[in-house]
Amino acid sequence: IFPERKLTVLVRISSSAARCHSAVVKAAHQRHVLPSHLLSNGQRVHLVASARQFSWSSSRLASNPQSPEKLTQSDSSPPPLILPQRKHKVELKPGPVKPQASDLGSPTTAPTSLQKDSTALQSNTATTPSTSHANTNEGVIEAAKHDYADASQHGNLAPAPEGSSRIYTLYHQAKELFKFYVRGLKLIFTNWRRVREMQERVRTGGPPLTRWETKFIQTSKEDRLKLIPFAMIILIIEEIIPLIVLYAPFILPSTCILPTQKDRIDAKKREKQRVLVQSYTDAFAQLVENAATSPALESTLAGVPMKPLTGLLGLSTFTPSFMQRSALKRHLKLLGEDDALLLREHNGAHLTPSELRRALFERGILTDEVPESLWRSRLDWWLSSVEKASEKSAGDAALERLKLIARSALGRF
């Protein structure tokens, strides 16, 4: 009996030891091995069941797992990625010169003037020639449209029928403009006949020419000189007439200019007059000093540039100096004749605002920034000064008018 009981005790001890060993192995695998390998429940049971058949040496090895920190570090950190090395790009262009060490420590700031110049240069280069050319074309087209619309409202040109297509509208406008220019050329010959009638009347002992008739004769003579070149332009290339209005208005006869075109041409002349007065103040001051000490016109003009004088009076400034001097003398002579006509007609009391403004422009008197109520007083100042100068002495009348031109440019009325 004793040996059997002893055997039973040994079997129970071995079975309990096996159960404890399997529990330890199972817990170790659940804590360390199983979570890292993500085993399913069936695999865990199979592993625990097979562990009972291991030897004690193998069970001891399985019961001593690695530390969880080492497993976590080995599993969480992937092997480093080795990228293929790239060749450095070789710059063939020469690089900028590196600053010296002394320059690196003290950064300098560009002057304000240089910054302004660079900003202006960038703004100028931003506007390419194609952009400026496009803006110019758009301005010419818009000006031509405005001129045609205004002429249609005033009855100078017939408007296109309502509901017309774009192509027919362009054709109608071109046809109406061509008819307008042809009528203007015919009107030049009509005015020429009227001029001969006026001159014949005076020759036969009739009443003298009025100021309006005198201006009409001068304008008709200028139109006849422009007849041939303008007729060639109409026959060859009529489309550039809007460009001529903007950049070469002296080519157009007065009978072939639309009302808004005439206003634009006159405004451009007055703007040029104003710029010359502001830019050549010293020249006009020198002219006043010379006129006070010199008794003759030639000595007064000595050392004075001709451009401000001729430009102020609406004469050409692109001709040589001797031609500008001759044109100035002719203009001063015409001003003397015009002053006599205005004095005879009660200081130009019958002049319309446009005629009054034209008379002041011919005498170099600014009107753009002057109220219209002062135009009449400026003309009266001119005429009274001329009349007093002629009564005091019989000196050079052209020199007296040149003094008045310089004084008006300086604002000394």
| Largest distance between two CA atoms of the chain | 183
Q: In the prediction, which pLDDT does 119 show?
A: 43
For the CA atoms of 273, 276, 282, 285, what is the dihedral angle to 10 degrees? Answer: -10
Q: In the prediction, which pLDDT does 194 show?
A: 96
Q: Decide if 218 is inside a domain.
A: yes
Task: Give per-residue pLDDT as tens, 166-205.
Answer: 898 888 888 888 888 889 999 999 999 999 999 999 999 9
Q: In the prediction, which pLDDT does 408 show?
A: 93
- Of 63, 79, 109, which marks where a domain is finished? 63
Q: Decide if 128 is inside a domain.
A: no
Same domain, 410 and 262: yes
Same domain, 58 and 150: no
CA distances to 16, 69, 249 from 24, rounded to whole Å, are: 12, 20, 113
Same domain, 353 and 396: yes
Under 8 Å between Cβ of 351 and 380: no
Same domain, 242 and 214: yes
Same domain, 350 and 362: yes
- Of 237, 255, 273, which marks where a domain is finished? 255
Task: Give per-residue pLDDT as tens, 91-150.
Answer: 554 444 444 444 444 444 444 433 434 443 344 433 443 333 444 455 667 777 777 787
Q: Decide if 276 is inside a domain.
A: yes
Find the mean pLDDT for residues 76-84. Answer: 52
pTM for the predicted model, two decimal places: 0.63
Of the candidates 255, 313, 248, the one whose C-alpha atom is nearest the C-alpha of residue 284 is 313
Of the candidates 238, 224, 98, the one whose C-alpha atom is nearest the C-alpha of residue 178 is 238
Domain extent for 375: 258-413
Q: Decide if 345 is inside a domain.
A: yes
User: Phi and psi (nearest 5°) for 341?
Assistant: -65, -40
In which residue are the tokens 């027919």 written? 168
Taking 80 as the threshold, does the pLDDT of residue 333 lie above it? yes
Task: Give per-residue pLDDT as tens, 41-60.
Answer: 444 444 444 444 444 444 44
pLDDT higher at 408 or 390: 408
Same domain, 156 and 220: yes
Taking 50 as the threshold, does the pLDDT of residue 318 lie above it? yes
- Of 33, 63, 93, which marks where a domain is finished? 63
Same domain, 407 and 324: yes
Same domain, 244 and 263: no
Q: Decide if 213 is inside a domain.
A: yes
Highest mean pLDDT among 94-103, 286-295, 386-395: 286-295
Highest mean pLDDT among 172-186, 226-240, 329-343: 329-343
Q: In the prediction, which pLDDT does 177 show?
A: 84
CA distances to 149, 183, 191, 230 from 187, rounded to whole Å, are: 23, 6, 6, 14
Task: Give per-residue pLDDT as tens, 204-214.
Answer: 999 999 999 99
Same domain, 240 and 265: no
Dist. CA 269–CA 273, nearest whole Å = 6
Q: Decide if 122 is inside a domain.
A: no
Q: Decide if 158 is inside a domain.
A: yes
Find the mean pLDDT for residues 55-70. Answer: 45
Under 8 Å between Cβ of 302 and 320: no
Q: Decide if 102 is inside a domain.
A: no
How many structural domains compose the chain? 3
Task: Give per-residue pLDDT as tens, 242-256.
Answer: 777 777 777 889 998
Under 8 Å between Cβ of 281 and 410: yes
Three-class DSSP labels, the chain: CHHHHHHHHHHHHHHHHHHHHHHHHHHHHHHHHHHHHCCCHHHHHHHHHHHCCCCHHHHHHHCCCCCHHHHHHHHHCCCCCCCCCCCCCCCCCCCCCCCCHHHHHCCCCCCHHHHHHHHHHHHHHHCCHHHHHHHHHHHHHHHHHHHHHHHHHCCCCCCCCCCCCHHHHHHHHHHHHHHHHHHHHHHHHHHHHHHHHHHHHHHCCCCCCCHHHHHHHHHHHHHHHCHHHHHHHHHHCHHHHHHHHHHCHHHCCHHHCCHHHHHHHHHHHHHHHHHHHHHCHHHHHHHHHHHHHCCCHHHHHCCCCCHHHHHHCCCCCCCCHHHHHHHHHHHHHHHHHHHHHHHHCCCCCCCCHHHHHHHHHHCCCCCCCCCHHHHHHHHHHHHHHHHHHHHHCCCCHHHHHHHHHHHHHCCCC
Same domain, 243 and 274: no
pLDDT higher at 98 or 344: 344
Q: In the prediction, which pLDDT does 17 show?
A: 57
- What count of other Cβ atoms lies within 10 Å of the Cβ of residue 232? 10
Q: In the prediction, which pLDDT does 328 show?
A: 94
Same domain, 210 and 310: no
* Stated length of the chain: 413
Same domain, 263 and 408: yes
Question: Average pLDDT of the chain?
Answer: 75
